[in-house]
Structure 1
């Protein structure tokens, strides 16, 4: 089994990628708050079936879509800065928590490598 192919490591890696994407989308929306007819983007998590021999079952994938549910201003733009700032903060805190967990996992691995065979 490859070193970084356990389920927890893959889950953390996917989570980090998803939170990074959420930060990018929120930043892009904030940058376009004054663009006429701009429709805010949002990140959705869709369940997809993984076609793999290991049989892990369903996997969730982050997908960027357009927010058509939010009411637009007279200029056609539907970006809500407060909502985007909150989404950006939440994605940042979740990303930070996952990086701390990943760091702990790698520190444990480093400890095992450095202290094996002594």
Structure 2
């Protein structure tokens, strides 16, 4: 059994990578808030929704009462799309700085939660190996 490279750890790594992509997208939007004709971008995870709707997610069931859900983490990364359907400024720029700042705060909380969970998994492994307390 591989203690470090298991589906949960891989899922956490994928989520961290996607969160970093979202952070970069939001940062670009904030940096270009005053750039004429700049169109705000958004990070989307539609590939996961599509997989779930197609019924491709499978669960390891250890009991007949378990529900179907879960599965291997996706290798797909987050996609960045341009938002063209809104306009907030007279110069063609559609960055809403209040929205971007709130998304930045939400993403930071999400990222910190993922880091804490990953640290908890590594601390559990250290404890099992006798190097923790």
TM > 0.5: yes
Which residue number corresponds to residue 24 of structure 2?
A: 24
Gaps of 5+ in 2: 52-57, 59-70
Q: Residues 6-28 of structure 1, C-alpha deviation per residue, up to 9 Å, x if partnerless?
A: 11101111111111111111111
- Aligned Cα RMSD in Å? 2.1
1:97 aligns with 2:116: no
1:79 aligns with 2:95: yes
Which residue number corresponds to residue 104 of structure 2?
A: 88
1:22-61 → structure 2 map (5 Å cutoff): 22-47=22-47, 56=71, 59=74, 61=77
Which residue number corresponds to residue 66 of structure 1?
A: 82
- What secondary structure, in the 3-state scheme, does the structure 1 residue paired with 2:129 have? helix
Gaps of 5+ in 1: 50-54
- TM-score normalized with structure 1 length: 0.82
Which residue number corresponds to residue 52 of structure 1?
A: none
Higher strand fraction: Structure 1 or Structure 2? 1
